Amino acid sequence: MKKLLFVLAAALLLTVPARALEVSAPSALLMEKETGTVLFSKNEHEKLEPASVTKVMTLLLTMEAIDSGALHYDDVITASAHACSMGGSQIWLKENEQLSVGDMLKAVCVVSANDCAVALAEEIAGSEEAFVERMNARAAELGMNDTHFCNATGLPAAGHVTSANDIALMSRELILNHPDIRQYTTIWMDTLRQGTSSLVNTNKLIRFYEGATGLKTGSTDSALYCLSGTAERDGMELIAVIMKAPTSAQRFDDAKALLSFGFSTYALVKATPDAALPPVPVSLGSQATVQPVAAESSLLLEKAKAAKLEKSVTLVPQAEAPIAKGDVLGTLTVSADGETLAEVSLVAGEDVPRVTWGALALRFLRTAFLGG
C-alpha cells in the first residue's frame, strides 16, 4: 500500500504544471527523498563523468558496512602505498599511517580525500578493484542503468560514467537509510590529527544555504563541476544533482535554484488520521477490541493543495478473531477539492487470537453468575 501511495503521489505531481525553472548546467535533477519523486529533470540520463561525486557510492558502501556491524567508526585503518598514491584531493596520508574509520569518513565527506576513500575501500573489500566490483553491483541493484564505475574516487578513467538520475538514486539511498552520514556531511570546518590538519568543506551549501545537509562535490578538467546537494526544511529533504556546470559558483547557484523551487512549491504531508482511532469490536476473540493503526505513508503535494486536505476514516463495525497484526480494518481517505489523493489502509496493530472453548465457557459462567 505504501508503494501504491508513492505512485499516486508521483502521478499527482506529474499532472500539475510546474512554474518555469531553468538551470545553466547541461544535466540536472531534483528529487524528493521520502517518495523518490522527481520534481525537475534536464538530460537526466546523459552519461557524464561524475568526478568525486562518485564517492557517494563509496560512502554508501562504507555506511552499509558500518550499519551491518562489519566495520566500526573507531576501527583503525593502516594506509597502503596504493591509497597514498592517489593524488588529487587528499589529506596527504603517509604509507602505514593509521587513522580511524570515522576520521577517514570525515576526510572524504569534507575535503573529498581520495587517499581516504581508497583506504576505506581496501579495508572493506580487500582491494580497490574488489570494492569497485561491489560499487557496480550495488549500482545495478539500485537501478542505476547509466552507471559504470572504474574506481572508488572519481579520478578520470575511461568509461567511468554516471548520470544525474543515477546520482540522485544513490544519494537517496545513502541519506534515506543511513542518516548518520550527516554527522560528517554537515561539517563546515574541522581538524584531523589532533588539530594539526585543517578541513574546510568543499560544499559551500553547508555554510550558505539554509537547511543544507550535504552531500558531495566533484570536479575535474573533463567532468567540470558536479554536485549532489541535499537540504531539509519542514520535514522534507530534497536532492539536487548538477553535472558539468561551467564553474564552481554556477553549480551551487543551480543547486540553490532547484532546492528553493522545491521548497517553495511542494510539501511532504503525512497521511495519518487527524484524531485518535477508536478501537474496533472483536467477536470470538481473546480480547474485546483491537486497535487500528494507520500504515506509515507520505504524500508529496503542491503546497496549495496540501493546505486544503480533508481526511475521512471508515472502519469495519466488527472484526472476527483470529486477527493478525496488519489485517485491514478500514481506510483513511485523503482528498482535496473533492479529488481523492490517496487511500491508506488502517490495519490491526496487534494479534488477537480466537478465544478457546474453555475460555469461552469460563466467560459465559462469569457473565451468568457474577454479572460480568
Point out which residues pair with 353 in neighbouring strands: none
Alpha helices in the chain, H assignment, sequence order: 2-14, 55-68, 81-84, 101-111, 114-125, 128-141, 164-177, 182-185, 205-208, 248-265, 303-306, 357-370
8 Å CB contact between 153 and 118: yes
Q: How many Cβ atoms from other residues are within 10 Å of residue 80's Cβ?
A: 18
**Long-range pairs for 78-81 at CB < 8 Å and ≥24 separation?**
79/115, 79/119, 80/118, 80/119, 80/122
Active-site position among 27, 89, 112, 297: 112
Of 353, 300, 348, 340, which is closest to residue 16 (Cα–Cα)? 300
HSE-CB at 15 with a 13 A cutoff on CA atoms is 10
Is 55 a catalytic site residue? yes
**b/e map of 313-339 (b: 16 or more CB within 10 Å)?**
bebeeebebebeeeeebbbbbbebeee
Instruction: Kindly give, in sequence order, each residue whose CB lies less than 8 Å from that of residue 40, ignoring residues fewer than 6 positions away.
Output: 18, 21, 28, 29, 30, 258, 261, 262
Place of cell 596504493: 82
8 Å CB contact between 316 and 330: yes
Q: How many Cβ atoms from other residues are within 10 Å of residue 160's Cβ?
A: 20
Tell me how far apart the alpha carbons of residues 214 and 108 are, in angstroms, rounded to a whole number: 12
Is 100 a catalytic site residue? no
Active-site position among 27, 33, 42, 55: 55
Tell me how far apart the alpha carbons of residues 175 and 256 are, in angstroms, rounded to a whole number: 19
Point out which residues pair with 219 in neighbouring strands: 225
- Concatenated DSSP letters of 120-154: HHHHHHSSHHHHHHHHHHHHHHTT-TT-B-SSSS-
Of 236, 317, 180, which is closest to residue 31 (Cα–Cα)? 236
Active-site position among 27, 52, 80, 298: 52
Residues annotated as catalytic (active site), given as ranges: 52, 55, 112
